[in-house]
Structure 1
Amino acid sequence: MTTLLSPEIDTIGEMTERCDRCGAAAKLEVVLTSGGDLAFCGHHANRHRADITRVASRIRLEDGFDWAGR
């Protein structure tokens, strides 16, 4: 079950997306509660972890990525 305080978190094998902030390989993808999605490299995912969990309905992590927001 997904709530506003705890988005659903899935792990996937490999991401092909690029970070929407800097263009590096994405390690995390966010499906926004308001619609749409964003991808983040490891650096930006960890830096913006509080904002990500606040606006996400679902989060997908690349397998092996140790996200600080988890």
Structure 2
Amino acid sequence: MTTSTASRELNALDRCDRCGAQAYVRAVLASTGGELLFCAHHARAVEPKLRPLTAQWQDESARLYEKPKVDITD
């Protein structure tokens, strides 16, 4: 695992390991360095048990509430 992989912003190609929806949370496991990706819904469901086992919990779920930037030019 590289640092750039663990800290890069999640995008539309990153999918939840539970349901296949777009992932907004990355959990990097402390024991193996492996990563798990979750949609916001499944991240909230597993966070209490999983977060203590992680070296990194990257939560970008706030992006769900961002208004899209619209460029209106003629």
**TM-score, reference length from structure 1:** 0.65
Indicate the residue corresponding to 1:28 in structure 2: 25
Indicate the residue corresponding to 2:55 in structure 1: 57
Given the alignment, which residue of 33, 39, 42 partners 1:41?
39
Give deviations 1:6-27, integer Å, cap 9, x for gaps: xxxx7x4x43410001100001
Return structure 1 stretches of 4+ with deviation > 2 angstroms. Answer: none
RMSD across aligned C-alpha pairs, in angstroms? 2.3
Choose between structure 1 and 2 for higher RCO, CA contacts under 8 A separated by at least 6 residues: 1
Indicate the residue corresponding to 2:3 in structure 1: none
Paired residue total? 56
Distance 2:57 2:43 in 1: 11
Task: Give 1 or 2: higher helix fraction.
Answer: 2
**TM-score, reference length from structure 2:** 0.62
Which residues of structure 2 form unaligned runs of 5+?
1-6, 65-74
**Identity over aligned pairs, percent:** 35
Higher alpha-carbon Rg? 2
